[in-house]
Amino acid sequence: MENALGKLDLDTKARLLSGQDMWSLPAVPEIGLRSLVMSDGPIGVRGVHWSADDPSIALPSPTALAATWDPELARRAGHLLAQEARRKGVHVLLAPTVNLHRSPLGGRHFEAYSEDPYLTGEIGTGYVTGVQEGGVGTTVKHFVANDAETERFTVDNRIGARALRELYLAPFEAIVKNARPWGVMAAYNSVNGSTMTEHRELQRGVLRGEWGFDGFIVSDWLAARDTVRDLLGGLDVAMPGPRTVYGEALAAAVRAGEVPEADVDEAVRRVLTLAARVGALEGLDGADPAVAAADRPEAVDGEALAREIARRSFVLLRNEPATALPGRPALPLDPARLTSVALLGAAARDARVLGGGSAQVFPERVVSPLEGLRAALPPDVLTYAVGADPSDELAPAAQGFELSATVRAEDGRTLGESRLPNGEVRWLGDFPAGVTYEELHTVEITGTFTPRESGRHTFGTRGLGRFRLTVDGKVLYDGVQDMEDARDPFEAFFGEPEPRATAELTADKPVRISLTCVVVKIKDAPLQAVSLSLMHRAPERDADEMIEEAVAAAAAAEVAVVVVAPTERVESEGFDRSDLRLPGRQDELVRRVAATGTRTVVVVNSGSPVEMPWREDVAAVLLSWFPGQDAGLALADVLLGAEEPGGRLPTTWPARLADAPVTEVRPTDGRLSYDEGVFIGYRAWERRAAQRPQDAPAPAYWFGHGLGYTEWAYESAEFTPAAEPDGDDLGTLTVEVRNTGERAGREVVQVYLEVPEGDGEERPVRRLAGFASVTAEPGGSARAAIALPRRAAEVWDESAHAWRLIPGAYAAQTGRSLADRRLSVRVAVG
């Protein structure tokens, strides 16, 4: 390594720390260094193209992965992702996202794991371990406190040292310690006055100094803004290129004596270490024992794994007997006896399988609930009706469209072409073969559209430029969308779609369609980006009529399954949510269906919490998250009882937004104060309940809640103190549970540590201190031995700048959720 470093001159070193394009670092053949390629993350590996040309396996959303409460499953997900990365020539996966669910309004809630730092750290550890065992690097992100999206590039999050240590830094600390990640991504936001890429205290002090992190720190995309402060702050690599604050600017800063060359060398050493770890540095291939090719995990069947994780993540929130059918709970349904099922909801047909933004990947195929259930049920059992259309906006042209993009130069020459997965063109520093940004002038999206319904279809655009839209040869729109509102550099991605024209079309009759855009190139933009979309909305049917149709289908059926979901404009990177309501008339649809008296099962297809005001009026509520590409297969497995839904909530779900402990995610004058300190999630719900026993709101469903298809008895719990009193663990709780139901099942045994009463410490009354999954046959028992970390009895002492163990008589409580604790054992600490 030193040998390789010694061969590099200052300019090459500075260049090596700067992206050469959107996703990669430059190669340096003289020292046998190949170009290091990075890619998003976290539910799949998109690769270097933002298109369907190179499809990816799409696993369920990170909230879903966390809901499995199974770090081993996360590790297997990591193996698959490493396999996908290697297939696509990717060395580093830009994942996992381990920011916390501070508020349910956070736009990237679906992309993070939990409100609890311990659960987040455990799932993140499994994930990072798995990816890296496959010889691919990770960048744990976004370091730190990127917990909301509003003004994300500039917001200064004001966070007390205790909350920072006990909550927001904790998952990073656990993952650094337990999984030794090869990378960390520095966030866009500031923390306590310093933007994170420049945060010397947190990057050099805490991450490297205290925790011994030995990987590289990469900026979030476009986050690095100052050559000197970034390097001195500890940032190793500035992405994306080619124009970054490193490269030439860094070499110049060294020559001007503004930064020591030794600091540049340190950063280069870390990039070379990364290259050695991923096998991109000749002579040092596989230098890290973890990547020795022979030890790599076995080949993973991605489709099977996507389906397995989905069903293991589904959370059965409620499962009551239907009023008309007392006795057995509503689920599972018995496929042998079912005569008629009414499947309802727009998302049953057009499944929402992933959240928006950089987490997006393009799977080869998606199985919707309608397809999954149709395949699993005998013919003629299933009827389908939309019921309610949740989208009051246009969406990227998808269903029924076959599209491609043609790129032309100003003189009309065709430069290149690309297949499009839907109406979205997203080229970020990477263009179809033959196309350069300099020459690119016009993009034409062309193809056919075969409508599903007859009637008046609306077409529109998203993005900037001069647009011309034709349908069936007729020009329907010709006009300009300019820059005015582009606050976020990604506005063209996440901005509001503009309706432009309508056309009367006939079902099943294809029409030619074309959208031409003379692209706006923003002068001096740090990124060569082209983003524009053809948007579409099907004819608006009479909303009352749609609901009536669904209600009639439900009334005539034995079972009604209603799939409800947010839209792509609700859960995405780039903005926060403003409410937790299901869009459109979906709530009314559920209520009206339930009122028919037919056994009603609601499937909530959402990456993060939604209000479910009807939840007590229906027989069953199954939360399917964003279930990934095999959504419908996993749903059929679970609804029809082939498999048990295995998930438990990784975050408390409020009944109403107003009840949530943190509802403010918008900064004031550029600052967002984390005034609640260490009280987020269940920590806050419990504090409020203790302070206001009479009128504190109860959540809809507590952290840890989730039913299966069998019953469990907690038979015994025994605590064995650690032999080593100053070690990382307080001791081990051994819990014995028995499956008292009628079918085999899996139980997530949860342990919460309750603090001694009245010891004068201001801290959460209880916290998750361990968990384990066990399985048992009917009547069988299983034992879980769960180590309780010492950290669960510690607080961060702000004045001593150190962890402080609080001695006393604690209680280790074990059970099925935070609110369903079955056994309690005394744990003497200190």
* E strand or H helix at 548: helix 543-555
Say how many C-beta atoms besides its own lie within 10 A of residue 286's C-beta: 17
> Closest CB to ligand BGC among 22 and 284?
22
**Token pair of 10, please?**
């200052």
Q: Which of 118, 116, 75, 67 is nearest to 96 (CA)?
A: 75
Beta-bridge mates of residue 716: 736
Alpha-carbon gap, residue 132 to 278, rounded angstroms? 9
* E strand or H helix at 729: strand 729-739
> Closest CB to ligand BGC among 37 and 331?
37
Q: Which residue has the tokens 């025994």?
A: 718
- What are phi and psi for residue 38, nearest 5 degrees? -115, 155
**Token pair of 770, please?**
């361990």
Q: How far apart are the first and last CA of the chain?
A: 46
Alpha-carbon gap, residue 661 to 674, rounded angstroms? 11
**No. of helices (H) and no. of strands (E), the chain:** 19, 36
- What are phi and psi for residue 737, nearest 5 degrees? -125, 155
> Closest CB to ligand BGC among 401 and 494?
494
DSSP SS3 for 100: coil
Q: Which of 265, 259, 272, 137 is nearest to 200 (CA)?
A: 259
Q: Select the residue whose beta carbon is closest to ligand BGC and give its number.
A: 358
Shortest separation between residue 140's beta carbon and ligand BGC, angstroms: 11
Alpha-carbon gap, residue 150 to 318, rounded angstroms? 34
Shortest separation between residue 66's beta carbon and ligand BGC, angstroms: 17
Q: For strands 794-797 and 745-754, give the pairing.
A: unpaired
Shortest separation between residue 97's beta carbon and ligand BGC, angstroms: 7
Q: For strands 414-420 and 401-408, give the pairing.
A: antiparallel
In terms of Cβ atoms closer than 10 Å to its own Cβ (0-12, 13-18, 19+), residue 812 is buried
Which of 156, 220, 630, 729 is catalytic? The answer is 220
Tell me the residue ranges of DSSP E strands in 584-665.
599-604, 620-623
Shortest separation between residue 249's beta carbon and ligand BGC, angstroms: 21
Shortest separation between residue 223's beta carbon and ligand BGC, angstroms: 8
> Closest CB to ligand BGC among 66 and 94?
94
> Closest CB to ligand BGC among 319 and 358?
358
Alpha-carbon gap, residue 480 to 532, rounded angstroms? 13
Q: Which of 161, 312, 334, 96 is nearest to 799 (CA)?
A: 161
> Closest CB to ligand BGC among 41 and 654?
41
> Closest CB to ligand BGC among 217 and 812?
217
Contacts of 828 (CB under 8 A, 6+ apart): 721, 808, 809, 810
Shortest separation between residue 410's beta carbon and ligand BGC, angstroms: 30
Query: Is the distance from CB of 253 to CB of 259 less than 8 angstroms?
Result: yes
User: In the annotation, is 220 catalytic?
Assistant: yes
Shortest separation between residue 41's beta carbon and ligand BGC, angstroms: 6
Shortest separation between residue 151's beta carbon and ligand BGC, angstroms: 14
Alpha-carbon gap, residue 243 to 20, rounded angstroms? 8
> Closest CB to ligand BGC among 140 and 564?
140
Shortest separation between residue 50's beta carbon and ligand BGC, angstroms: 9
> Closest CB to ligand BGC among 66 and 251?
66
Query: Is the distance from CB of 670 to CB of 154 less than 8 angstroms?
Result: yes
Task: Return the DSSP state at 202.
Answer: I
Binding site for ligand BGC (CB under 6 A): 40-41, 94, 141, 220-221, 358
Catalytic residues: 220
